[in-house]
Amino acid sequence: MKLTQLLIEAGYSAQGIADAEVSLVTEDSRKVCPGSVFVCVQGARFDGHDMASDAVEAGAVLIVAQRDTGAPNQLIVSDTREAFSLLSASFYSNPARKLRLVGVTGTNGKTTTCFMLKSVFEALGHKTGLVGTVKNMVGDVEYPAHLTTPDPFELNGLFAKMVDAGCEFCVMEVSSQALAQQRVAGLHYETAIFTNLTQDHLDYHGNFENYIAAKHKLFEQCDTAIINCDDEAHKAMVEGTSCKVVTFSAASDNADFSAKNTEYRTDGVSYILVGVGKLERIKLKIPGSFTVYNSMGAAVCAVELGFTLEETAQALAKASGVPGRIEVVPTDTDYTVIIDYAHSPDGLENILASLRKIAPARVITVFGCGGDRDKTKRPKMGKIAADMSDFVVVTSDNPRTEDPQTILEEVAEGTAGAKIPVVKILDRTEAIAFALGEAKAGDIVLLAGKGHETYQILGTEKIHYDEREIVRAILEK
Q: Are 99 and 167 in contact (CB under 8 A)?
A: yes
Pair 474, 436: CB distance under 8 Å? yes
pLDDT of residue 286: 86
Q: Indicate the average pLDDT of the chain.
A: 94
Q: Give the pLDDT of residue 281.
A: 97
For residue 25, report the phi and psi dihedrals to the nearest 5 degrees. Answer: -120, 125
Find the range with the poorest average confidence among 39-53, 130-144, 204-218. 204-218
Superfamily of domain 327-476: Mur ligase, C-terminal domain (3.90.190.20)
Asked if residues 39 and 64 have their Cβ atoms less than 8 Å apart, the reply is yes
Report the pLDDT value the prediction gives residue 320, as an integer from 0 to 100: 84
Q: What is the pLDDT of residue 206?
A: 60
Give dist(CA 431, CA 267) in Å, integer.
Answer: 27
pLDDT, residue 439, reads 97
Give 246-289 pLDDT, tens digit per residue. Answer: 999 999 999 999 999 999 887 789 999 999 888 999 999 888 88
Q: What is the DSSP letter of 19?
A: P
For residue range 36-49, list pLDDT tens digits in order.
Answer: 999 999 987 889 99
- Rounded mean pLDDT of 279-301? 93
7-44 pLDDT, tens digit per residue, is 999 999 999 999 999 999 999 999 999 999 999 999 87
199 — pLDDT class (breaks 50, 70, 90): low
- Is pLDDT at 205 greater than 60 in this prediction? no
Q: Which CATH architecture has domain 95-316?
A: 3-Layer(aba) Sandwich (3.40)
Higher pLDDT pick, 473 / 149:
473
Q: Amino acid identity, residue 330? A: P
Fold matches, 95-316 and 327-476: no
- Judge whether residue 201 has pLDDT over 80: no
Place 209 in a pLDDT band, splitting at 50, 70 and 90: confident
The domain defined by 3-91 folds into 3.40.1390
Q: Which residues make Cβ contacts (< 8 Å) with residue 368, sequence separation at least 6? A: 394, 395, 396, 397, 407, 408, 411, 428, 449
- pLDDT tens for each residue of 409-468: 999 999 999 999 999 999 999 999 999 999 999 999 999 999 989 999 999 999 999 999
What's the predicted TM-score (pTM) here? 0.82
Domain ranges of the chain: 3-91, 95-316, 327-476
